[in-house]
Chains A and B, each alone.
Chain A
């Protein structure tokens, strides 16, 4: 992870670490914090705790998002301090709806300049974000909304497994990981397990990202905690609730970063620090799917 972040994430980059509730790569964010990257533009549908931590650690100058909260719990206090008090530094916001941000990544992946969508009529969002525009359909004359392509410098995707070439398989919710990877100039894949190529080839329909667009593959078990990996470990909902207290004041959040990010050298150390009580509580029970016949 240290090498991947050092080589492929640079100061000033536009960075996407996606994953909708599922497969959010906290391990990569923590390494970015440890390497003290600065002036990043962070894009994600739901900034979640992962960007709250990056913002509070002073890594970000801008946030592109569509829903900013701690799901089911409350506010993102780190993000709000940056927006409201410029603490630790000012944070510019660029706001869409989910569909709008998904469409930006779709355009980016398809290397089109924009994406049309039937949305935003009767909403104030275009009035506060000049990137949301309209176009008259050349076939029907209908006025459609448009959003510009989003092409991140680097996208980081967490997944259950990949081979060493980066052919990546995800099951369960896969959000916009595919679009975010294809839209990016550089792609880092972080997995729970590296498997032989034969395992990938035995079930090709499950491959979301082909290895030839991937720049680095990192094996980092429990790398998504407190998010989850279907079939490996459950979401740590207690952590999401506890974060509200931890992050409520800047000092508390800083103490947490000191203990859990700067205070550990790697995800393996973080995992040991979590302890068996937590990992046993979250480990997934088996619910295997049946294989299919790929023969001809």
Chain B
């Protein structure tokens, strides 16, 4: 997933980085095909070049040798709401048919079965970033037809489509999973399968979402991870295997 997510990034992209796998993916992209990636963390680090894998989103290694340190008011008002962010990364406990994301509660808000951490910066990233990459392993439990709580808006839902809501950013455009990639269809925003990883059966993927999954007419080819990518990930970027 880290390699796939890294390949979603273009050189020069300005990326709002989350902790965990997205962080690994961004640093892998920077070490391979995208040396001019600008990493921005919601904690305020801009143009971060972390010497060690940050354990938290506010790690001191994000500051050392960065291009700038901004206040969080600047980060959210000028960088994110100001539409300076090309790519945001999000995860969540649930992602639904239209890519709405839930990181707030499982069950009802008043009487939750599981209380999750909440939005953090997720809602505004989903509103403003030009495109959003979601990284999450695929399972029927995590990909229901509809999320229990709309933390971050997807492509469409009970409040309407992104166009109707006049949302400035592109919202979730790629869902990178452990078995393939989903992306919203242009005409209705419903997630469909656009790529399956080598050796994974489409029938198996279909059992891992909570709605009848459409398969794109032309599946994208997927190159397996290269030896260089794997060495970088395992030996250089995450030698202690914090996220791998």
Contacts and interface: CB of A to CB of B under 8 A. Distances in A.
A69 B115 CA distance: 10
A21 B27 CA distance: 21
A288 B118 CA distance: 37
17 contacts: A21-B56, A46-B120, A67-B121, A68-B118, A80-B115, A83-B115, A84-B115, A95-B118, A98-B76, A102-B76, A121-B153, A124-B149, A173-B63, A175-B44, A176-B73, A234-B60, A235-B56
A176 B56 contact: no
Contact of A71 (B57, B62, B71, B81): B57
Number of contact residues on B: which range applies?
35 or more
B60 A97 contact: no
A65 B44 contact: no
Interface string B110-127: 000001011111111011
A56 B116 CA distance: 19
Interface in B65-80: 69, 71-73, 76-77, 80
Contacts of B151: 123-125
Q: Is the interface of B mostly helix, strand, loop or mixed?
A: loop
Interface in B84-143: 100, 104, 109, 115, 117-124, 126-128
Contacts of A284: 60
Interface of B: 19-20, 42-45, 55-60, 62-64, 69, 71-73, 76-77, 80-81, 100, 104, 109, 115, 117-124, 126-128, 149-154, 157, 159-160, 162, 165-168
B81 A118 contact: yes
B104 A124 contact: yes
B58 A122 contact: no
Contact of A22 (B55, B58, B115, B126): B58
A97 B128 CA distance: 14
Nearest to A71: B56
Interface in A59-83: 65-69, 71-72, 75, 80, 83
A121 B167 contact: yes
Contact of A98 (B55, B109, B119, B167): B119
B129 to A, nearest CB: 13
B72 A20 contact: yes
Interface string A39-69: 0000001100000000000000000011111
A235 to B, nearest CB: 7
Q: Which of B81, B124, B165 has the most CB of A within 10 A?
A: B124
Contact of B120 (A66, A178, A235): A66
A119 B58 contact: no
Contact of A173 (B58, B149, B153): B58
Nearest to A21: B58
Contacts of A237: 55-56
Given A102-B76, A119-B127, A128-B109, A67 B119 contact: yes
Given A98-B119, A102-B72, A173-B44, A20 B58 contact: yes
A172 interface: yes
A222 interface: no
B63 A172 contact: yes
Contacts of B167: 121-122
B75 to A, nearest CB: 8
A175 B43 contact: yes
A228 B60 CA distance: 8
Interface in A158-187: 171-176, 178-179
Contacts of B81: 99, 117-119
Contacts of B154: 122
Contacts of A98: 42, 72, 76, 119-121, 124
In the A-B complex, the 6 residue pairs with the closest CB atoms? A21-B58, A122-B153, A67-B120, A69-B117, A97-B119, A99-B76
A11 B77 CA distance: 34
A96 interface: yes
A122 B165 contact: yes
B204 to A, nearest CB: 30
Contacts of A69: 117
A69 B19 CA distance: 13
Q: Which of A84, A96, A128, A284 has the most CB of B within 10 A?
A: A128
A171 B68 CA distance: 11
A117 B20 CA distance: 28
A159 to B, nearest CB: 14
A260 interface: no
A287 interface: yes
Contact of A122 (B60, B119, B150): B150
Contact of B20 (A72, A84, A121, A230): A72
A87 B25 CA distance: 40
Interface string A101-122: 0110110000000000111111
B20 A66 contact: no
B121 A97 contact: yes
B41 to A, nearest CB: 9
